[in-house]
Chains A and B, each alone.
Chain A
Amino acid sequence: MVEFRYRDDEVTEQPSVTLDAFLDQSNATAVRLEPDDDARKLIPFLDRLTLIEVAFPKFRDGRGYSSARILREAGYTGELRAQGDVLVDQIAFMRRCGFDSFAPEGSLNPDAVERALSTYDQFYQKAADAAVPVWKLRHG
């Protein structure tokens, strides 16, 4: 269930297909990436996609963070969803990597999510979000 969504547009209705299925057929608009899928394979098709779901079967497996950034760096502007073992304490990092919706397996306390997203307002490094890194604030 998509519980936390930070987009203004409509949620896509189409179910996601696997990466292999997507690369086989070209008319799906929603794809699901497993941790060992190469996100770059989607780069030629980004403007056709409204949803890319990145699976986190175990929260300790951090490959999805790289997948997300790679997609945003390639110019993807559709919905980028983290799905699976997503806990409150990963949400802020995931937002910074470009995720804008979350489908956690467990239930998350909305207040805790809100707190997690507002704990930090300074960031050392440039990532996939709009945050201006501290070095840029220092030097303009």
Chain B
Amino acid sequence: MYKYDNYDQAIVDARVAEFRDQVNRRMAGEITEDQFKPLRLMNGLYLQLHAYMLRVAIPYGTLDSRQMRMLAHIARKYDRDYGHFTTRQNIQYNWIKLEECADLLEELASVEMHAIQTSGNCIRNISSDQYAGAAADEVADPRPWAELLRQWSTFHPEFSYLPRKFKIAVIASPEDRAAMRLHDIGLELVKQDGELGARVFVGGGMGRTPMIAPEINPFVKADDLLSYIEACLRVYNRYGRRDNIYKARIKILVHEIGADEYRRQVAEEFAHVKTLGIDPPLAELERISAFFAAPAFDAADVEPDRSDPDFAVWLDQNVKPHKQAGYAIVNISLKPIGGIPGDASSAQIDVMADLAEKYSFDELRVTHAQNIVLPHVAKRDLYAVWQALREADLANANLDLISDIIACPGLDYCSLANARSIPIAQKIATRFADAERQRDVGELKLKISGCINACGHHHAGHIGILGVDKKGVENYQLTLGGSGAEDVSIGKITGPGFDEDGIVDAVEKAVEKYRELREGDERFVDTYRRVGMDPFKEAIYG
């Protein structure tokens, strides 16, 4: 994975010093909260429901054991001994003190980590495929491109006061494991005549008005990429709406002027920007790519001993094939039944760090489904890894099953929320606790958002739940048929909402109707797409 050189380190160190100065000026009253707010947001520090919340960046979801241990240390020293992994591959701490934040950032900087641009109306963390470098179906590792974009976007002087936040995802396989089409800019690396380039999608997003990003350019070469993205951003910075916070994302601009017109404006701007010489030479992408070279794989291809039935179940559900014979991709569930999706204690974080160092060439990934991946585990080590995970309550064999729920923090943590999301996740997981029943139901991506901002990605859930405020009382709407994968679709609402218990019953009714109607090996979402909403609506509302 990428390692900082002196320049990268200098930039992060300067940021810590700058933020320390800004905090001091705020504490001394030299700047008001209104003036300080965008500054602290550009450093990932929110004033949230209970305290200051800090969102630490995990660039394209990749980190090593040293960094993971630092995250555990931060949780212990500066927070309440746990962290929350997010739907953008970052980690959040909910109880940070402003007066300690600069020290915290200094510690992060010592392991090449930061909280730069994890909030604010600027370009956020570039996300990517959690199986990058391990999946057989990728045309190339997308992460060098993500790193190139990370550097280009960091403290970009023209794009730090955009109309609204800006999220970019990069994938490199036909299977979309990063919800790429639901980002402001999505890039899919493809090959054309043997040359690697990017298919560019612009204008996706969830929130109040979910939209799937249209393709704006079928192929942008590597050495044109930054000029092209700069042109995309400049058109947005100049013409994105600033009159209404709910209409300020680029998806609204692309929708209102049309993809063709947006493409034309970008092409015009690109022709100009290309003359400015802002693209690094290909040597820079090559330099970055060298950090992502395959590890020294040397394990023989042995099949693990399946005689332990619990291990066999976990193997079948959570372990995915690796492009290298002898190796496998391990998915660590942060969704224990009745637990808080995406949360991990400092002790659990340390366990995962140790496992990565010992068994996964010192690398981990954070997924947008709020789980963790050990990307390069030798098959001969799988049993030992599973035993260690089980001891740490990290071995729930539920990847992509109904209890593998994506849930935003919701009203328990977030001042934007209308309803609590975590208790709903806990109740649904408990209702479906029976492991065999879950496996029989099969792949079912259930996503819960506590408000219309959709941080739980409910629009992209096979089953989605949206928390709303109904005259001061929490209420939950049900959507069906969404997907954030390459079969991308936006979920459709079933009808009137439910209370806290009603929504769990409604989900169960929908699941049972699916089991009744399914044909062959159809997943829930496949059956829904085949039979439509009516049978489900009837089952739910009677």
A–B direct contact (CB < 8 Å):
yes
Chain A interface (Cβ < 8 Å from any Cβ of B): 35, 59-63, 65-66, 69, 73, 87-90, 92-94, 96-97, 109, 112, 115-116, 119-127, 133-139
- Kindly list chain A residues whose C-beta atoms are within 8 Å of the C-beta of B8: 134
Given contacts A109-B30, A135-B284, contact A63 B158 (CB under 8 A): no
Asked whether, in the complex, the Cβ of B276 is within 8 Å of the Cβ of A97, the reply is no
A-B contact pairs, 14 of them (CB 8 A): A35-B242, A60-B38, A61-B161, A62-B162, A65-B158, A66-B238, A73-B272, A119-B18, A122-B11, A124-B154, A125-B152, A125-B157, A134-B11, A137-B7
- Kindly list chain B residues whose C-beta atoms are within 8 Å of the C-beta of A92: 157
Asked whether, in the complex, the Cβ of B5 is within 8 Å of the Cβ of A138, the reply is yes
Q: Is B17 an interface residue (CB 8 A)?
A: yes
Among A69, A97, A121, the one with the most B-chain Cβ atoms within 10 Å of its Cβ is A69
- Kindly list chain B residues whose C-beta atoms are within 8 Å of the C-beta of A65: 157-161, 237
Q: How far is the CB of B424 from chain A (nearest CB, A)?
A: 35
Asked whether, in the complex, the Cβ of A122 is within 8 Å of the Cβ of B7, the reply is yes
Assembly CA distance A97 to B38 (angstroms): 19
Asked whether, in the complex, the Cβ of B278 is within 8 Å of the Cβ of A115, the reply is no
Given contacts A96-B157, A125-B278, A139-B284, contact A134 B237 (CB under 8 A): no
Q: Is B25 an interface residue (CB 8 A)?
A: yes
**Number of inter-chain CB pairs below 8 Å:** 106
Instruction: Give the size category of B's interface with A.
Output: 35 or more
Q: How far is the CB of A58 from chain B (nearest CB, A)?
A: 9
- Kindly list chain A residues whose C-beta atoms are within 8 Å of the C-beta of B5: 138
Q: How far is the CB of B7 from chain A (nearest CB, A)?
A: 4
Asked whether, in the complex, the Cβ of A122 is within 8 Å of the Cβ of B10, the reply is yes
Asked whether, in the complex, the Cβ of B237 is within 8 Å of the Cβ of A97, the reply is no
Assembly CA distance A137 to B8 (angstroms): 12
Asked whether, in the complex, the Cβ of A93 is within 8 Å of the Cβ of B25, the reply is no
Asked whether, in the complex, the Cβ of A62 is within 8 Å of the Cβ of B237, the reply is yes
Q: Is B317 an interface residue (CB 8 A)?
A: no
Q: How far is the CB of B283 from chain A (nearest CB, A)?
A: 5
Q: How far is the CB of A7 from chain B (nearest CB, A)?
A: 19
- Kindly list chain B residues whose C-beta atoms are within 8 Å of the C-beta of A133: 278, 280
Assembly CA distance A97 to B121 (angstroms): 18
- Kindly list chain A residues whose C-beta atoms are within 8 Å of the C-beta of B242: 35, 61, 63
Assembly CA distance A59 to B18 (angstroms): 19
- Kindly list chain A residues whose C-beta atoms are within 8 Å of the C-beta of B156: 124-125
Given contacts A124-B151, A138-B5, contact A62 B21 (CB under 8 A): no
- Kindly list chain A residues whose C-beta atoms are within 8 Å of the C-beta of B154: 124
Assembly CA distance A69 to B233 (angstroms): 13
Main secondary structure of the interface of B (DSSP, over half): helix
Q: How far is the CB of A68 from chain B (nearest CB, A)?
A: 8
Q: Which of these, B7, B21, B155, B238, contacts A63 with CB under 8 Å? A: B238
- Kindly list chain B residues whose C-beta atoms are within 8 Å of the C-beta of A63: 237-238, 242
- Kindly list chain A residues whose C-beta atoms are within 8 Å of the C-beta of B272: 73
Q: Which of these, A35, A66, A138, contacts B158 with CB under 8 Å? A: A66
Q: Is B39 an interface residue (CB 8 A)?
A: yes
Please name the residue on chain B nearest to A95 by beta carbon: B157
Assembly CA distance A65 to B161 (angstroms): 9
Q: How far is the CB of B331 from chain A (nearest CB, A)?
A: 33
- Kindly list chain B residues whose C-beta atoms are within 8 Å of the C-beta of A116: 18
Q: Is B22 an interface residue (CB 8 A)?
A: yes
Assembly CA distance A120 to B283 (angstroms): 25
Q: Is B234 an interface residue (CB 8 A)?
A: yes
Please name the residue on chain A nearest to B230 by beta carbon: A125
Asked whether, in the complex, the Cβ of A115 is within 8 Å of the Cβ of B21, the reply is yes
Assembly CA distance A69 to B230 (angstroms): 12
Proximity bits, B280-310, A CB within 8 Å = 1, else 0: 1101100100000000000000000000000
- Kindly list chain B residues whose C-beta atoms are within 8 Å of the C-beta of A136: 280
Please name the residue on chain B nearest to A56 by beta carbon: B161
- Kindly list chain A residues whose C-beta atoms are within 8 Å of the C-beta of B11: 120, 122, 124, 134
Q: How far is the CB of B480 from chain A (nearest CB, A)?
A: 38
A119-B18, A125-B156 provided; 17 other pairs, C-beta below 8 A? A59-B35, A63-B237, A63-B238, A88-B31, A93-B160, A94-B157, A96-B157, A120-B11, A120-B18, A124-B151, A124-B156, A134-B11, A135-B284, A138-B5, A138-B284, A139-B283, A139-B284
Proximity bits, B25-46, A CB within 8 Å = 1, else 0: 1000011000100110000000
Asked whether, in the complex, the Cβ of A93 is within 8 Å of the Cβ of B283, the reply is no
Q: Which of these, B31, B38, B158, B281, contacts A127 with CB under 8 Å? A: B158
Given contacts A65-B161, A66-B234, contact A138 B287 (CB under 8 A): yes
Q: Which of these, A60, A93, A112, A119, contacts B157 with CB under 8 Å? A: A93
- Kindly list chain B residues whose C-beta atoms are within 8 Å of the C-beta of A97: 157-158
Assembly CA distance A126 to B152 (angstroms): 9
Assembly CA distance A112 to B159 (angstroms): 23
Assembly CA distance A73 to B39 (angstroms): 28
- Kindly list chain A residues whose C-beta atoms are within 8 Å of the C-beta of B278: 125-126, 133
- Kindly list chain B residues whose C-beta atoms are within 8 Å of the C-beta of A123: 155
- Kindly list chain B residues whose C-beta atoms are within 8 Å of the C-beta of A89: 22, 35, 39
Assembly CA distance A46 to B11 (angstroms): 35
Listed from nearest, the 10 A-B pairs whose CB atoms lie closest are A62-B161, A96-B157, A135-B280, A93-B157, A134-B7, A124-B151, A126-B278, A65-B158, A135-B284, A119-B18
- Kindly list chain A residues whose C-beta atoms are within 8 Å of the C-beta of B158: 62, 65-66, 69, 93, 97, 127
Assembly CA distance A9 to B277 (angstroms): 29
Q: Which of these, A90, A94, A115, A138, contacts B7 with CB under 8 Å? A: A138
Q: Is B384 an interface residue (CB 8 A)?
A: no
Asked whether, in the complex, the Cβ of A112 is within 8 Å of the Cβ of B25, the reply is yes
